[in-house]
A = this chain, B = another copy of it.
């Protein structure tokens, strides 16, 4: 776009924020981390984790920074959703937000003390309360996006611990896609992709036959990803 000084004397925008939908997978259910803000006009209401985009950072960097402040994690898997721009999405101000979704492994996760967050809590995907601003819309959009992306690339692995069983993986897909899968057929298909590496380890402390553990292999993924593959189940 052409820049003309006069165009921007009065910016039409009061600011840009980042809002993050943080997904995790816990005991067969997909959950989202919501926070109560400690300051501002929305104290006490639940919403997505968010913050202002700073002048010298990209939106990706801002999202990583905001997530780091809350969780202490670095290099979280995240993807931009889109910009949410309804002029009425925030009253009295013109604030555009850039939505992100991130997939975290619950085991790594650890909420840090934070000035801006009063409380944080995991909510099951079908038990989401009313959220501030357009955060319900952002969340709904992120679910659609997640369901789509999960069919095209093995991003779901980011929700699991490093070592996992095939059935855990299957339950993950069932939960995200909202479908039921056949154990036998799922095994065949996922193993046939050659994307998993079988470990010489088994589950511990389970009250039934211990399942073999697998891990996701980045190397193999990179090789396969060039041809593109299909995660339709």
Contacts and interface: CB of A to CB of B under 8 A. Distances in A.
A83 B82 contact: yes
Given A58-B87, A82-B82, A83-B83, A11 B2 contact: no
Interface of A: 1-4, 7-8, 11-19, 37-43, 47, 50-60, 80-83, 85-87, 90, 93-98, 116, 133, 148, 152, 230, 232
A228 to B, nearest CB: 10
B85 A41 contact: no
Nearest to A45: B2
A3 B91 CA distance: 10
B14 A11 contact: yes
**Which of A2, A14, A81 has the most chain B CB within a 10 Å cutoff?**
A2
A86 B58 CA distance: 5
Contacts of A98: 83, 85
Q: Say whether chain A's binding surface is mostly helix, strand, loop, or mixed.
A: loop
Given A12-B16, A53-B13, A83 B80 contact: yes
Nearest to A60: B85
A129 B230 CA distance: 33
Contacts of A38: 2
A87 B57 contact: yes
A83 to B, nearest CB: 4
A17 B37 contact: no
Contacts of A59: 83, 85, 96
Contacts of A43: 2
Given A3-B41, A95-B3, A148-B152, A87 B52 contact: no
B2 A116 contact: yes
B40 A2 contact: yes
